[in-house]
Amino acid sequence: MIEFDLEVDASGLQCPLPLLRLKKAIMEVESGRVVKVIATDPAAHLDFGVYIDQAGHIPLKIFKEAGKQVFFIQKK
Catalytic residue set? 15
For residue 73, what are the β-bridge partners? 35, 59
Residues across the chain: 76
Cβ within 8 Å of residue 68, ≥6 positions away: 11, 38, 39, 40
Distance CA 35, CA 37 (A): 6
